[in-house]
Structure 1
């Protein structure tokens, strides 16, 4: 059995490690909040720049990184035969699909457009909603984005097929469709109030802002710091102050 001194040492080390861990988690939440605020500032700064024409859209990954969050105005023709529905996406707390369709530009290249969100059929989750897609050329107002956000899955990105998918790789999709895809996606925007009813194509484009949940991270940080303070206070009381009071 451990001696009294050894037990006190174990308790001290456990309290110290737990307090440091919870304090570090609090700092991590503050860092997450700062990252989202910086991203939001970058989005606003890029949005203030003049919209990019289709001819200036990035053709390399390095150029795409410089154009992130920049507004763009493009004209092209939908390729509806390659529409993809990304599953398990939420908007306003409801499960559904993100609808992605390639748009063939006037120069022959194409860009993958995140057109909007549709709810999933509650009775049959594999039933695809009807999404009206014009055959005539269209002009879009959009925001430059990177690849679609990836959700965790066991299947590799290049192993998925069919219209319903969990994730999508631009490179693999370009090989699959034989389209000359730009190394980015466009987030289609509505002209007017983003909180309005779905557009004529039935898609909702109430895209969340990066810093929309920043207060959640502050709340988590307060909880972790409070827990660190509680652990420290309990250790000081039970291991230091209380024994001295008893001895006195």
Structure 2
């Protein structure tokens, strides 16, 4: 009954199945390993962030440029506050509000964006406390420049004067008359009536959309493997039934069951 498995057509089907299943399993396992690696990175980043909060602050220059190892580290910088901007559409503890971003002009001649705190509601300059006068020393968590569209950072344009969607040198260069550091700092203790903004995990180390895409791809590859097995058994059963019907004289005996023509795409 199963002699048809030795025909050239079934040799091709069997070889395809024997190659496709291990490939799908391998790709699914690889995607799963990528997800697990991201989970480990997320846990490591959280542990590092907790350790960083208790570590002594270091001078800003010692931790630049910002990377996965320096992001979230405690830094200190001295200078005078200058231009102040608002960063709208920022959530904190499930509430919508805005950041108060002030440029700290340092002795190096560059300005460091400093998030002095968060306030609820629509961004309004009248709500934002004025920065302290004179020379100040700030301490907070070092952060990498934001990229619009990533991790909840708004990418919309056309904001009112005095507002920016993203905290980055590229976004601020046309808004303030200073040379800028390609980094920013969120204060450990917010100024006057504002809420401190917690440091974000380094880019690529959190359980973001890409991490869950890896998990989704894992499921897809394993589903593909199961689909290949299902289709092989379906073809096998169909062939066995055809051979049985041919022996009973129900249908004319042929070498194999006819293969239905593929369905045409709509409009083809």
Q: Structure 1 length as normaliser, TM-score?
A: 0.62
2:251 match: none
Question: Structure 2: 5+ residue runs without aligned partners?
Answer: 1-8, 242-268
2:233 match: 240
Deviations 1:64-100 (CA, angstroms, capped at 9, x unpaired): 5575432123444322xx2222233332333332321
Question: Structure 1: 5+ residue runs without aligned partners?
Answer: 191-197
Distance 2:110 2:231 in 1: 70
Query: Map of 1:1-248 to 2, 5 A cutoff?
Result: 25-40=31-46, 42-43=48-49, 49-52=55-58, 56-58=59-61, 62=65, 64-65=66-67, 67-79=70-82, 82-105=83-106, 109-121=110-122, 127-128=124-125, 130-137=127-134, 138-151=136-149, 153=155, 162-170=161-169, 173-174=172-173, 176-190=175-189, 200-209=192-201, 214=207, 224-240=217-233, 243=236, 247=240
2:253 match: none
Q: How many pairs are equivalent?
A: 226
Higher relative contact order, chain-length normalized (CA < 8 Å, sep 6+): 1
Secondary structure of the residue aligned to 1:140 is strand
- The Cα of 1:131 is off from its aligned counterpart by 1.3
- The Cα of 1:169 is off from its aligned counterpart by 3.5
Secondary structure of the residue aligned to 1:58 is helix
Deviates more, 1:180-189 or 1:99-108: 99-108
Secondary structure of the residue aligned to 1:239 is helix
Larger Rg belongs to: 2
Deviates more, 1:144-153 or 1:15-24: 15-24
Distance 1:91 1:150 in 2: 18
Distance 2:208 2:167 in 1: 30
Q: Structure 2 length as normaliser, TM-score?
A: 0.58
